[in-house]
Every structure is written in structure tokens, then in C-alpha cells.
Amino acid sequence: MKIVVDAMGGDNAPFATVKGAIEAIKSYGIDIILAGNKLIIENQLARHDYIKEKIEIIHCSEEITNEDRPVAAIREKKDSSMAVALRLVREKKADAIVSAGNTGALLAGGLLILGRIKGIDRPALATPYPTVDGMSVLIDGGANSDCKPRNFLEFGIMGSVYAEKVLGIKKPSVCIVNIGTEEEKGSEIVKEAYKLCKTGPFNFKGNVEARDIPGGYADVMVCDGFTGNVILKLTEGLADSIFKLLKEEFVKNTLRKMGALLLKPGLRDFKKQFDYTEYGGAPFLGVKGVLIKAHGSSDEKAIKNAIRQGIKFIENNVIDDIAKKLSV
């Protein structure tokens, strides 16, 4: 199995991408292609011990930054690490791509270079979402701001295959994120989507209100990319704010400081539940190839875990399974 890593993508590249790739080779025994500037990558590699035969460098003269406009970047920077890595997947020279680079460019590249699975109108980001009850999947995590009702059905199909095959959830429940539990609630599009999902080839459980998301009410939460992005970013922001507030309360006097000291391990365990690096990246489902989007601020651990996700995808034939479900 061979996975290509966009070595230049992400806030901590190339340090995190190279180190994460080396760690993944050690843990999972796979082969890695590092796409990016050869000199810079070799410089990073020289700092570590690694199995030389397991790593191939493919030199790219360009780089896509977060400031680049997505579609233009993919079209014009043909020798960028991201575009080159995507072409390697299309040409079957790699089994999957992992990138922490410009999200918009990566999604545009997925569409333009890999293409869509037959029957899928809109590929979507399937984001693992930690809940009190384990892991759920939020789809679409932000690829499509405007969605049609049929897209919700596609998201339900793709999300449930992913939840079952990669996250190991048996007969995952699928819910539409809505502002009430009743069928007639919500926007016009969501109401139409409900009618379609009722007969979808998955375990449809109705609507989930946002209040019940953190409790793990639904295994797969289906929504448009606008709503999904708001949910993900609000979760991130709220967790941050709550930790900040707690910290402030806990240093207000000596007694509280003592208490906080005793609770430090508890707080650390707690914080871990909200740590995205534990879960690796989010797959872009619906394109013809395994594409894992890692968080822009991924460290080496997050990159390694994103690679692990890619491996599970390949081993479990997720893409074939989605295609099969669509053709029924």
C-alpha cells in the first residue's frame, strides 16, 4: 500500500508532514510518497531515522498557499505538491492522498483531478465528531454551502458507509440536523430532504436537534456544508472558551489553585476528548480516489492519524462500497 502526502501543505509543513509520514511507516509498515520541494524534504528527513526504501520523494517546483484562490490554484499551479499528489492518485501510482493544505483548493482538486463517483452530484467532507457517547460523523463538514435535497440523501449514503467501514459503527443511525425533531420542521430544503432520506438505503432515524449532537444521538449527522461548518467551528470555539473560563476561575485564589492542581490529570483527560489530532483527518467522500483532508494546523500526530484513516479506507474498499450502494 502506498500513500502520497502533500509534504508542503498545512501550517506546520514540512516538519509535521515529514515526521508524521515517518511515524506512520514505523507503525503501519506502508510505503509513502512525499510530494514537494526535494531539497526541503531531504533536509527534514536528515533529522530523523527512517527506512529509506519506504519513502520516495517526488519533486514539485510549486506550492499552493492558503491565500491562493482554490480553482485557479489547482488549474495554474500544475506542478504544486497538491496537484501532483492528486494526479498520482488518479494515475493509480498512489492508493490515497493526505493533505493539510488549502481546503478549498484540495476540494476543487478532488473534483477536477479525481472526478466524481457515478451517481454523486456533490462530494462532501465527512468529519469525525467526538461525542460523550463515542464518535459520530458530520457530513457535509463544509464543502457545499448550498445544497439540494438530493445531496442530503447522497450524504446519508456516503456517511453511513464511512461510519460502518472506517469507524466500525454497526448499522449506524443517520439523522438530518434540524431545528426540531418533527418531520415538518425546518427550511424548505431540509423538509424535502427528509422525504427522500426516509426511503434511503440506510438506518434513517429522523431529525437531530443541535442540542443532542454532543450527546451522540446520531451516528451520522447530515446537513449542508454551511450548517456543518458552523457546527464544527462553534464546537471548536466553545471548547476553547470554556477551557479559558475554567482556567480563569481556577486561579482566583489559593484554595482554587490547589484544587486545580489536584484536578490537572482529570482536566487533561477531559481535554483529550476534544483534541482533533486524536482523530486524524476528514475524508472527502464522493470523488474517485481516497482523499483525506487533515486539519490546517495538524502536527505530526494528526498527520500520522490521517494516514491511518487513509489505510482503513483502502483496506475496507469504502469507495467501491459507496459506488455499489448508489447503483442499487
Which spans of this chain sit near its own copies (rule: CB under 8 A)?
131-132, 142, 145-146, 177, 179, 186-188, 190, 209-215, 224-227, 229-242, 244-246, 249-250, 252, 255-256, 258-263, 265-267, 269-270, 273
**Which of residues 87 and 293 has its CB atom nearest to its own copies in the complex?**
293
**Which of residues 132 and 328 has its CB atom nearest to its own copies in the complex?**
132
* Least CB distance to its own copies at residue 259 (A): 3
310 vs 315: CA distance, rounded Å? 9
Within 8 A by CB and 6+ apart from 308, the residues are 24, 27, 28, 280
Q: Which residue has the cell 450524504?
A: 155
24 vs 247: CA distance, rounded Å? 35
Rounded (5°) CA angle 163-168-171: 65
**Which of residues 44 and 229 has its CB atom nearest to its own copies in the complex?**
229
**Which of residues 6 and 224 has its CB atom nearest to its own copies in the complex?**
224
265 vs 142: CA distance, rounded Å? 34
* Least CB distance to its own copies at residue 81 (A): 23
314 vs 122: CA distance, rounded Å? 21
Q: Which residue has the cell 503501519?
A: 28
Q: Give alpha helix (H) positions in the chain.
A: 15-28, 38-45, 70-76, 81-90, 103-109, 149-165, 188-198, 225-250, 254-272, 300-315, 318-327
**Which of residues 51 and 238 has its CB atom nearest to its own copies in the complex?**
238
* Least CB distance to its own copies at residue 275 (A): 13
* Nearest in space to 70 (alpha carbons), one of 147, 143, 154: 143
* Least CB distance to its own copies at residue 285 (A): 19
Rounded (5°) CA angle 211-216-222: 75
* Least CB distance to its own copies at residue 10 (A): 18
140 preceded by cis ω (within 30°)? yes
* Least CB distance to its own copies at residue 108 (A): 14
Cell representation of residue 59: 519533486
**Which of residues 51 and 234 has its CB atom nearest to its own copies in the complex?**
234
**Which of residues 28 and 243 has its CB atom nearest to its own copies in the complex?**
243
281 vs 303: CA distance, rounded Å? 8
* Least CB distance to its own copies at residue 237 (A): 4
**Which of residues 75 and 256 has its CB atom nearest to its own copies in the complex?**
256
* Least CB distance to its own copies at residue 223 (A): 8
